[in-house]
Structure 1
């Protein structure tokens, strides 16, 4: 079979000849969109999602839920830039819950939210649901969800792998109850069980037994969204036991929800202001959010920028200097590639800590960042739980992406300051950030 041209094409990363000055409308949050799709599909009444992200991961989630019987009607308002607007602007999805059914076949692609959030939903379906995906998805851990669902009463065939492909034999209901899991490799194991728990006969009590728990803000996002649709959730933050979450069984409400911009996907644009000493406005940046990307305000300020959060959005300004940073990213690991790219251009070394779990993401992000930055002349070494980056003068070359959207945007950041960088398979950014090349060149006025 001939290789997909999009996977082998090289995209010349634009080099910035002057400071950027731009307003960038960032599409909706993937994390919020996919959680909202699950909750709306499990609700007792119809709901709306407005300005949802339309990307590979969210379309895979919507297709999977449709396959299990959920109605999802897509509309585009006359104010939209056109039918099927890729960033979801002006778009609304009407979610019509129905009896979940099998047989069904779900393509998860390489989306962690789809492969982990939907097996608990499938356990509530009436019939078998088969899960499959991209080759890389077979290597990503699912054992936390699979083992927990078996304890809670589900029947799952996975040939003992704790990974894809697998079949969930839905029985129309699930007992639920108390379960212990080790979510050290992914907080999505916890979120997956919590999202469907109101529909379990006994609800759920999830006890995390591991020594670490990455990406805690994503669990807080799950809890906040559950509470917003009427679920009762007890958490460590609300006075419960450490590392224990309890969800009471009950009906979920349909909501009319407007999706926030994806703050993690704002990262390359904020980085552009930092790298070029310019200024970027991200409209509609929320004053309060559970998105991990909100921490960029703090991190990029420490690295040499400044920001102002106003009613209309976030204005980020670079100073013309980039400083190294020593930072624990355990709660915000998805920001690591972009921070590493900026750190490679800094005036002093950086140490990024607490992200050993990135070895299990779309690719082994720590190994990939080390290899690709070093092949451009950098000096990056892996540590037990992160990266140490010593800035050196970089040169052009091919920046491989490993089908990882955040590797592609990291390469684009470096390309702003280094001429001759070519990004392999920039199309992989469609996973969560549709039309990234157009947004990027538009920001630069190219």
Structure 2
């Protein structure tokens, strides 16, 4: 089994016993905003010609690190109000330092922005951040005329030394490790002198819905983007317009709560869900339906109902790899085996998620086999025990889902959920106990 992520914590561990459900859950929730939408809106707002607002943004470690990085380079950020953030663009300059934490969005979206700043901007983060794939982006920035000084082996720490402009042009990149490698280039590209043409060469780019999200948000900010040719993205140079961004609830963060409906035969509604979404709702709907759930969208929100029986499935999760941990937990409780493929790239996320999931569930008695790009799960009764989270919020979500049916699952640290949802422990316990 492959090694998993760095276990050195950056803050005190917060042990937590996952609550076990004694009745079907019945909850109506309003969850925090999407991390992906909040991160992109912050970058586009900082590069615009006028002020922007973000309504109902996500306040979590990843997004406050993104705001802090942009502020360090000169953008004016007013984020005291949880309901409405204000961004005023300003001249970008160094010297500045960006703490990326363990956030792939920060470490991949902000180096291209730093190329537009005058002066040096340094980047570093949590210990495991130094192992996350960044080399293709560093090489692409060099091709586009950005000076990047790397002291490690092609990842963090690094320094971007800018002169206030980026020539831009055409670049070839292998983005098979993360769609964020492309998104990072595209978000800053309207400010490049010649824009950018990004050509991906290599295995398929994972998480395609996130690339479509990037393109749609660029267009909403006034950028001219052509993504009509597979694996080629063309962004023309031009101004970005300040605007109001309405941040949708976070779909990836909602999946554990929806999974609870399947496990317990209950019903969970996520309020505030738009009828037209840039997140992969249809893929989620199909997956949950295949596993025994019913998903409907009404004026009340997005609702998932379960029967208490979870079905095993075979699925390629490349487009929705963030869902892998929660779906793996569901598969552990299913009535038949499951096989998940297409997610080898999540070995480079906050931890090696495939290795971590296989190891921790095996420690609870699971029969699970790790493959290069996925997992095979053969359900059998699980037992309680310690479940390590490796500073990875999605690992905590997986343990919580399994704990609905398996008493005594003890997370070594639930504080890692602050990365994208600080409210998770309270929301989860309230849902299970009916006290939301």
- TM-score bin, normalised by smaller chain: over 0.9
Per the alignment, residue 385 of structure 1 pairs with 373
Shift of 1:298: 1.4
Of 9, 22, 41, 1:17 maps to: 22
Shift of 1:24: 1.3
Q: Which stretch of structure 1 is more off in the superposition, 285-294 or 300-309?
A: 285-294
Of 176, 182, 203, 1:190 maps to: 182
Deviations 1:341-391 (A, max 9, x none): 000000000000100001111000000000111111100101121000000
Of 321, 333, 339, 2:327 maps to: 339
Q: With the length of structure 2 as denominator, give the TM-score of the two structures.
A: 0.96
Shift of 1:6: 6.0
**1:36 is aligned to 2:41:** yes
CA-based RMSD: 1.3
**1:296 is aligned to 2:284:** yes
How do residues 19-418 of structure 1 correspond to structure 2 at under 5 angstroms?
19-76=24-81, 88=82, 91-159=83-151, 161-236=153-228, 241-292=229-280, 295-418=283-406
Q: Indicate the SS of the match to 2:79.
A: strand
- Partners of 2:328 and 2:37 lie apart in 1 by 25
Shift of 1:4: 6.3
Name stretches of at least 5 consecutive residues in structure 2 with no aligned partner: 1-7
Q: Is the 8 A contact 2:151 2:157 kept in 1?
A: no
Q: Which stretch of structure 1 is more off in the superposition, 220-229 or 154-163?
A: 154-163
Q: Which stretch of structure 1 is more off in the superposition, 6-15 or 328-337?
A: 6-15
Deviations 1:285-307 (A, max 9, x none): 22222223552221111101112
Q: Is the 8 A contact 1:293 1:332 kept in 2?
A: no
- Partners of 2:43 and 2:32 lie apart in 1 by 19
Q: Indicate the SS of the match to 2:431.
A: helix
Shift of 1:136: 0.3
Q: Is the 8 A contact 1:181 1:207 kept in 2?
A: yes
Q: Is the 8 A contact 1:56 1:432 kept in 2?
A: yes
Q: Indicate the SS of the match to 2:380.
A: coil
Q: Is the 8 A contact 2:13 2:415 kept in 1?
A: no
Shift of 1:74: 2.8
Q: 1:120 to 1:203 in 2, by over 3 A?
A: same
**1:419 is aligned to 2:424:** no
Q: Is the 8 A contact 2:51 2:88 kept in 1?
A: yes
Q: With the length of structure 1 as denominator, give the TM-score of the two structures.
A: 0.94
Name stretches of at least 5 consecutive residues in structure 1 with no aligned partner: 77-87
**Matched positions, count:** 427
- Partners of 2:281 and 2:320 lie apart in 1 by 7
